[in-house]
A and B are shown apart, each in its own frame.
Chain A
Amino acid sequence: MFEWLGISQQALFGQLLVGLINGAFYATLSLGLAVIFGLLNIVNFAHGAQYMMGAFVAWMGLNYLGIDYWWSLILAPLAVGLVGILLELTLLRRLYKLDHLYGLLLTFGLALIIEGGFRQAYGISGERYDIPEALNGAFNLGFMFLPKYRGWVVAASLIVCLLTWLVIERTKLGAYLRAGTENPKLLQAFGVNVPVMVTLTYGLGAALAAFGGVLAAPIFQVNAVMGSNILIIVFAVVVIGGLGSIIGSIVTGIALGLIEGLTKVFYPEGSSVVIFVIMAIVLIVRPAGLFGKEK
């Protein structure tokens, strides 16, 4: 069916599946960014560093304390979330009255410091993290071998995306969060402790990044710059989806993973650019993003 494109149907399915895997991954990462921007109005440039810290905490847990992958999936996001909370309480909090740009600069600076620290300690080549025993091997799908671990990444990402979406769109807590985004002063007048909510939200965003980092650790080399490599794509996902839109991040993440996967098949040289071309077009046609609301 697709032979005229110079590629067999089997190969195409294989590439689409790889695209889906990457897309699920982008969705998880952009989710935290969207949550933070939605409520705090901060463009969290430290997101990549928090993702990297998640991977490193998992590595440290395994090598220094013998904590296995499954516990790390819970503990690493908790640890990084706590660091995020500390950052919010001590630094970010002071910037809410100022322009967005200050938050961006602060988090960008923090990211550079954190990455520099890890590079100093672990070198640029980084460390390796093996795939957990239970997920070694692959499923034979007929048209390709799907590594079990990749299958797990898709499942775990989709579950986390769904849970986050449910919490924010379908629970009372989520309603407060959304109200806080619209009008924090009014919400505070109703007796909701907005500052605590803001702190916890930043912690949640950081924890989501760290969760992505733990998922990524067995696929990529765990090193200090792993976050900055992927952050820029994740930002594009958030911008295309609509800044602050949860569902926008999820849908766009997956869609862009697929599009990027297809580009890699037909014109690999363009695969790093295609996402930004789409971003530019979306910004021209719908400046608030596909799912964003114009203010």
Chain B
Amino acid sequence: MFKFKVVAAALAGAASAWLAPSAIAQSGKMSDGVVKIGVQTDLSGIYSDLAGQGSVLAAKMAAEDFGGKVNGVPIEVIAGDTQNKPDVASNMARRWFDEDKVDMIVDLPGSAAALAAVKVAKEKNRIAMVSSGGTTRLTNEDCTDRTVHWAYDTYALANGTARAVTQQGGDTWFFITPDYAFGHSMEKDASEAIKAAGGKVLGSVRHPFPGSDFSTYLLQAQSSGAKVIGLANAASDMMTTIKQANEFGISPKQRLASMIVMITDIHAMGLKTAQGLLSTDGFYWDLNDETRAWSKRFFERHKRMPTMIQAGVYSATLHYLKSIKAAGTDEAGAVMAKIKATPVNDFFAKNGKVRADGRMVHDMLLTQVKSPAESKYPWDYYKVLKVIPGDQAYMPVSKSVCPLNKK
């Protein structure tokens, strides 16, 4: 009897000794006892409407919808203003990773700031999910195995709009392009797509950035006789160009196609000014029941409908949390493997796929802005002319220079 007790105690001791390290290992799989998501965004500058507080809210909603906890540890969301400056973004990322236990950074507006932050994430072995920054460099020459590029990129927008509009008969183009790297690359990508689709680029003009008055360039576009005027400029420059095209009676005779436009831009311009504008978007709130359901929840708290960037922050954050759960750890390498292995299926993307280079490939929408008469309720802004399949919208792997694709 006594003997048995001893044996049992010994066994129990052995068992607990055998169990204990595993229990420690279990909590060790979730570092620091918290999953912390850092939303690096623009809270005060030119991207604060299309990303900003809306992006912070989107990340919070993803954490709430996931249940506030993953693998038994709480999820926390913090936010910071990068002012779209690379140095601010990289210092913030470094501080967040080193001191504040941040596991993943998301949003990252301004391509230069995004490029700076993803480098720090790679160095510190954490994950960066870019939703705002648009440059294709993130998944090409500057790709890392810790970066994911979510909502859109400049190639998908320029290529999608240029190709679809050319195919629909808008086969002669004139470009109004801001004179800096982003504008040049937009114009180049779009011009290639136009030529590939059998169209012609009749001319282009490069204006200083930021611009103030665009009537000179519009008159040149007018006298070129092009059927489509391609706008490679963004935000307030683009809005002023569109407004002045109306004023000079250039649109709707010549169609305007914007290479990058957000629904908040349309809201600010109003339908009377923006009507007829063609563009490509990664998301439209009024596409189906699922998008409407989420967007209305977002609207209740933000008082504006989500842009593709804000919806993308939600989708990326949710996919990240699902991947942690599936991996059973928050270690970046294991989570990234799950991120890339799992198809993205939510209201934002159907059968979206994260490629080896980090590009999340999903369907894009060719949209046209409605006229005031066609719009029946608030934020009823777009006609979806065409769904552009992801593999046609995004740069093919064969063109990408990211070495990760070759593994």
Chain A interface residues toward B at CB < 8 A: 8, 11, 14-15, 18, 21-22, 116, 119, 123-128, 130-131, 138, 144-145, 147, 149-150, 219-221, 223, 225, 229-230, 233, 261, 264-265, 268-273
8 Å CB contact of A123 from B49, B219, B244, B269: B49
Q: Chain B nearest CB: distance from A267 CB in Å? A: 10
Q: What's the minimum C-beta distance from B308 to chain A, rounded to whole angstroms?
A: 15
In whole Å, how far is A116's beta carbon from the nearest beta carbon of chain B? 8
B217 touches A131 (CB 8 A): no
Closest beta carbon of chain A to B68's beta carbon, Å: 30
Q: Which B residues between 280 and 309 are near A, CB-CB below 8 angstroms?
A: none
Query: Using Cβ atoms and an 8 Å threshold, which residues of chain B touch A15?
Result: 216, 219
Min CB distance, A197 to chain B, in Å?
A: 34
Ranked 8 nearest A-B pairs via Cβ: A272-B208, A125-B268, A264-B216, A128-B270, A221-B239, A123-B49, A125-B49, A147-B247
A119–B219 CB distance below 8 A: no
What chain A residues lie within 8 Å of B272 (beta carbons)? Answer: 130
**Bound-complex Cα distance A268 to B175 (A):** 13
Residue numbers in A under 8 Å from B240 (CB-CB)? 219-221
Contacts A15-B219, A150-B247 given: A269-B236 contact, CB under 8 Å?
no
Contact partner of B248 (CB less than 8 A), chosen from A119, A130, A138, A268, is A138
Q: State whether A124 touches B212 (Cβ < 8 A).
A: no
The answer on a CB contact under 8 Å between B179 and A269 is yes
Chain B residues positioned under 8 Å from A21 (CB to CB): 215
User: How many whole Å from A226's CB to the nearest CB in chain B?
Assistant: 8
Q: A149 contacts B268, CB within 8 Å? A: no
19 of the cross-chain contacts (CB-CB < 8 Å) are A15-B216, A116-B44, A119-B48, A123-B49, A124-B46, A124-B47, A125-B49, A125-B239, A131-B247, A138-B248, A144-B219, A221-B239, A223-B236, A261-B216, A268-B205, A268-B216, A269-B207, A270-B208, A271-B208
A14 and B207: CB pair below 8 A? no
- In the complex, whether B119 has a CB less than 8 A from a CB of chain A is no
B45 contacts partner chain A, Cβ-Cβ < 8 Å:
yes
Contacts of B396 in A (CB 8 A): none
How far, in whole Å, are A119 and B212 apart by their CA atoms in the complex?
Answer: 19
Q: Is the CB of A147 within 8 A of B248?
A: yes
Given A18-B219, A22-B213, A271-B208: A221 touches B249 (CB 8 Å cut-off): no
Cross-chain contact of B243 among A127, A221, A265, A272 (Cβ < 8 A): A221
Assembly CA distance A147 to B208 (angstroms): 24
Residue of B nearest to A263 (CB): B216
CA distance A265 to B273 in the complex (A): 26
How big is the B interface, by class? 35 or more
Shortest A27–chain B CB gap in Å is 15
Instruction: With A11-B223, A125-B239, A271-B207 as known contacts, state yes or no: A18 contacts B216, CB within 8 Å.
Output: yes
- Residues on B with C-beta less than 8 A from A219 are 213, 240, 243-244, 247
**Alpha-carbon gap, A127 to B243, bound state (A):** 12
- A150 to B214 CA separation, bound complex (whole angstroms): 13
Residues of B close to A271: CB separation below 8 A:
207-208
What residues on B are CB-neighbors of A149 within 8 Å?
Answer: 247
Task: Check: B380 CB closer than 8 A to any chain A CB.
Answer: no
Q: Assess the B49–A124 pair: CB atoms within 8 A.
A: yes
- Cβ of B267 within 8 Å of any chain A Cβ, yes or no, is yes
Is B201 an interface residue when CB atoms closer than 8 A count as contact? Answer: no
Residue ID in chain B nearest A223 by CB atoms: B236
Q: Which of A116, A125, A220, A223 contacts B264 (CB 8 A)?
A: A125
A261 to B265, CA, bound (A): 28
Asked whether B88 is an interface residue with its Cβ less than 8 Å from the other chain, the reply is no
Hey, which chain A residues are within 8 Å of B273, CB to CB?
128
Tell me the complex Cα distance, A273–B179, Å: 13
Which of B44, B46, B207, B268 has the most CB atoms of chain A within a 10 A radius of its CB? B268
**How far is A229 from B213 in the complex, measured between Cα atoms in Å?**
11
Given contacts A119-B44, A219-B247, A221-B268, contact A18 B236 (CB under 8 A): no
Residue B235 CB within 8 A of the other chain: yes
Known contacts A18-B213, A220-B240, A268-B216; is-contact A128 B268 (Cβ 8 Å): yes
CB < 8 Å: which of A11, A119, A264 contacts B217? A264
- B210 interface hit (Cβ, 8 Å): yes
Bound CA–CA A205/B6 (angstroms)? 97
B206 within 8 A of A: yes
**Closest-CB distance, B372 to chain A (whole angstroms):** 11
CA distance A123 to B239 in the complex (A): 15
User: Which residues of chain A come closer than 8 Å to B47, judged between CB atoms?
Assistant: 124
Q: Are B267 and A125 in contact (CB under 8 A)?
A: yes
Given the known inter-chain contacts A221-B269, A264-B217, A268-B216, please indicate yes or no for A124 contacting B45, CB distance below 8 A.
yes
**Are B212 and A229 in contact, with the CB atoms below 8 A?**
yes
Chain B residues contacting A265 (CB-CB under 8 Å) are 216, 220
Name the B residues within 8 Å of A150 (CB-CB).
Answer: 215, 247
Q: Are B44 and A230 in contact, CB atoms less than 8 angstroms apart?
A: no
- Tell me which of A22, A123, A124 has the highest count of chain B C-beta atoms within 10 A of its own C-beta: A124
**B contact residues around A8 at 8 Å (CB):** 223
Q: In the complex the two chains form, what is the Cα distance from A220 to B247 in whole Å?
A: 11
Which residues of B sit under 8 angstroms from A261, Cβ to Cβ? 216
Q: A227 vs B268: C-alpha distance in the bound complex, in angstroms?
A: 18
- What is the CA–CA distance of A265 and B265 in the complex, to the nearest angstrom? 28
Q: How far does the alpha carbon of A116 sit from the alpha carbon of B264 in the complex, in Å? A: 19
User: Which of A8, A18, A270 lies at the interface centre, i.e. has the most chain B CB atoms within 10 A of its CB?
Assistant: A18
Q: B215 and A125: CB pair below 8 A?
A: no
Residues of the B chain whose Cβ atoms lie less than 8 Å from the Cβ of A128: 243, 268-270, 273
What is the minimal beta-carbon distance from B263 to any residue of chain A, in angstroms?
Answer: 11
Q: Are the C-beta atoms of B212 and A138 separated by less than 8 Å?
A: no
Complex: chain B residue closest to A273, CB-CB: B208
Q: How far is the CA of A103 from the CA of B47 in the complex (A)?
A: 32
Q: How many whole Å from A136's CB to the nearest CB in chain B?
A: 9
Residues of B within 8 Å of A270, CB to CB, are: 208
